[in-house]
Structure 1
Amino acid sequence: MSRIKRLKASLTQFPDIPAPSMWLLASEYRAFWEYFAGVAFYGLVRRVAPKGDGHPVLVIPGLGASDLSTDLLRRFLDDLGYVTYPWGLGRNTGVKEEKSDLMLQRLQYIFDRHGKKVSVIGQSLGGVFAREVAKFGPSMVRQVITLGSPFTGHPLASTGTHLYEWLSGDRFEDMDFNQHLEIRNKPPVPTTSIYSKLDGVVAWKCSIEDGRPEGESINLRGNTHIGMGSSPGALYLIADRLAQTENNWKPFEPEGLARVFYGTNDHLDSSHEPSPAHS
């Protein structure tokens, strides 16, 4: 048994959720096609997506990524009428107290500049940042949208554990995992968790906002982890969530053909990891 697996088994305060399989991790190459599809169908998605109301949106990249990784999403939202901001802190190398403080300062700056609440979007680990920032500054946050973010379930139910250690310089054995129990708490603002059962990096059950007021989880069927911020289905869904009027948040309800692309009825007690035919 590997070092990470032994540590994972010892953390009995968390549900025993397995990391994605190696075949799911290998299938992440599809993210390149999702990105190219996002570019190819950019104009079409922009035409059918609801227009924005001009409020500011802060976008936080995932582990190991920089603002370059969120460029397509931010450009798309700018074209819809929002005012987007990159996180501006270079490469995301893990959850650090100093970066959390800088993120809160960034949020305060955007809020003061516009005089409007800010929607915060985070991909993967960036979604954990987004949720935590919303907990410390809820009066400045309109809503939080996370993309494949591991905020619940088991903190080691991921195929990116070694990458996290390498980028952050931290070893999991030295971490206080009881703090992760606090990460599971929902921020006091509307939250949308977008996930995929074919996520090859984060176990999808670690992205379920289960049974909480003004919180929802949406299955972006068939999507990869890496492509969750650039595929046509992701772009449209994010635009739909952002277009809601302030103080009138409602959960996403796919209708007609949209039910083929989006699912909303999964819970933490759902069945085991899917096969490709049941994603």
Structure 2
Amino acid sequence: MPTVSLRTAHQAPPLALLAMEPLRAMFDFAASRLAFAPAQQIGDGHPVVVFPGLGGAPFTTSHLRSFLSGCGFTAHCWGRGVNTGPEGDFDDWLDGLEADVRRWHAQSGRKVSLVGWSLGGIYARELAKRCPESVRQVITLGTPFASLRGSTHAETLYKFLHGDVAQLTPALDARLRECPPVPTTSVYSKTDGVVCWRGCIERKSALSESVEVEASHLGMATHPEVLRIVADRLAQPEGQWRPWRRKRLA
């Protein structure tokens, strides 16, 4: 299967897809509430930290966290309020998040899984690179780690909330593409109206994969299939990670 070149200049999704995002997200949420229940007690209780997307407040990931708690995981909000982007130097800012991950690891005695939605996935990946001894696995939802500049509609919102994108140098851009040294799953949608799906593709390896879903970007954290995939990935015994295999209906 041909791979997508990480050097390709990707374009942001069509404006028609972007315009449909709010309505599609409502349908994704309704489908999750009406037709999908947690897979009871498939989790082993290990801590899972959920990072919201750009502009996302804790309530935007509350459904996902509630679902994971119902599955038997110990789900945590990232604990930093609204995600307006890194403050000041990126690496200095990550120091605080790294301290949080190490604290959760120390308090529970278990490695921590990190689930990041959109920009939150960038944080999750970088934290796993900084303290892999504390991280069990990483799951990103609609995170364009392979192509941030010029290929997302979120760039305008980032500038509005944070000022500019001057920190995203070619060196940092290349660093963000690097896969964490822990099991990593990138969930993406070809009908994502906010970010270019090609920028969400992770190179397949023994510890990394990309899983396609049919979801909106704004509804990614509530879509029934996404919830099922996240729970399945997290439920794998530590040290026995295997790639996702879509289960056929009987």
Query: How does the TM-score come out when normalised to structure 1?
Result: 0.82
**2:89 matches 1:95:** no
Alignment match of 1:73 (pick from 64, 84, 90): 64
The structural deviation recorded for 1:42 is 3.8
Query: What is the distance in 1 between the residues matched to 2:82 and 2:208?
Result: 29
Aligned partners of 1:232 and 1:117: how far apart in 2? 26
Match of 1:24 in 2: 17
Amino acid paired to 1:214: L
Which residue of 217, 228, 232 maps to 1:225?
217
Deviation at 1:173, TM superposition (A): 5.3
Unaligned runs of 5+ in 2: 1-5
Is residue 149–residue 155 contact of structure 2 (8 Å, CA) maintained in 1? Answer: no
1:250 corresponds to 2:242: yes
Cα distance in 2, alignment partners of residues 75 and 235 from structure 1: 11
Alignment correspondent of 2:179? 186
Distance 2:86 2:189 in 1: 23
Find 1:240's aligned residue among 218, 228, 232.
232
Going from structure 1 to structure 2, the CA distance change for 1:89 and 1:173 (only over 3 Å counts) comes to closer
Map 1:1-279 to 2 at 5 A: 14-29=7-22, 30-43=24-37, 46-47=38-39, 51-96=42-87, 97=90, 98-170=92-164, 172=165, 175-221=168-214, 223-257=215-249
- Answer yes or no: is the 8 Å Cα contact 2:122–2:145 preserved in 1: yes
**1:177 Cα deviation after fit:** 3.2
Separation (CA, whole Å) in 1 of partners of 2:33 and 2:149 = 33
**Partner SS state of residue 240, structure 2:** coil
Query: In structure 2, the residue corresponding to 1:84 is in which secondary structure?
Result: strand
CA distance in 1, matches of 2:239, 2:197: 29
Asked whether the 8 Å contact 1:56–1:82 carries over to 2, the reply is yes
Residue 3 of structure 2 corresponds to which residue in structure 1? none
Q: Is the CA contact (8 Å cut-off) linking 1:143 and 1:189 kept in structure 2?
A: yes
Amino acid at match of 2:231: A
The structure having more radius of gyration, on CA atoms, is 1
Mapped contact 2:65–2:75 kept (Cα < 8 A): yes
Give the RMSD, CA atoms, in angstroms.
1.7
Specify every segment of 5 or more residues in structure 1 that has no aligned partner in the other structure, as ranges: 1-12, 259-279
Query: Number of residue pairs matched?
Result: 241
TM superposition outliers: structure 1 runs of 4+ over 4 Å:
none
